[in-house]
Amino acid sequence: MSPFELIAAYVSVFFMSWQPPWGRAGVAVSQATVRLSLAPNAAGPVVEEPALEKETRSKEDVDLPWQVVVHNDPVNLMTYVTMVFQRVFGYPREKAERHMLEVHHKGHSILWSGVRERAELYVQQLHGYLLLATLEKVN
Partner 1 sequence: MEICRQKDELEISELDPFLAELLRQIPVSTNPEGAPTAEDRLFSPPAGTKEKEICAEWKLYVQPELRRLFRSATETVAADLEQLNGNEKPFANCTLRIPAKHADAWLNALNQARLVIVAKNNFTDGELCDHYRSPIGSRRDLSLFQVNFYGFLQEFILRELIGTRENPYD
- Residues within the interface to partner 1 (CB under 8 A): 74-80, 82-83, 93, 97, 101, 120, 123-124, 127-130, 132-136
Q: Shortest Cβ distance from residue 25 to partner 1 (Å)?
A: 33
CB nearer to partner 1: pick between 11 and 67: 67
Shorter beta-carbon distance to partner 1: residue 11 or 118: 118
Q: Least distance (Å) from partner 1 to the CB of residue 100?
A: 9
**Helices and strands (DSSP H and E) totals, the chain:** 6, 3
Q: Specify the amino acid at residue 100.
A: M
Helix, strand, or coil (residue 54): coil
Name the residue type at position 65: P
Please answer whether residues 113 and 66 qualify as being in contact, where contact means their C-beta atoms are separated by less than 8 angstroms: yes
Q: Return the number of the residue (49 or 117) whose C-beta is nearest partner 1.
A: 117
**Residue 16 Cβ, how far from partner 1 at the closest point, in Å?**
38
Q: What is the DSSP letter of 47?
A: B
Cβ closest to partner 1, residue 30 vs residue 79: 79
Bridge partners for 135 per DSSP: 68
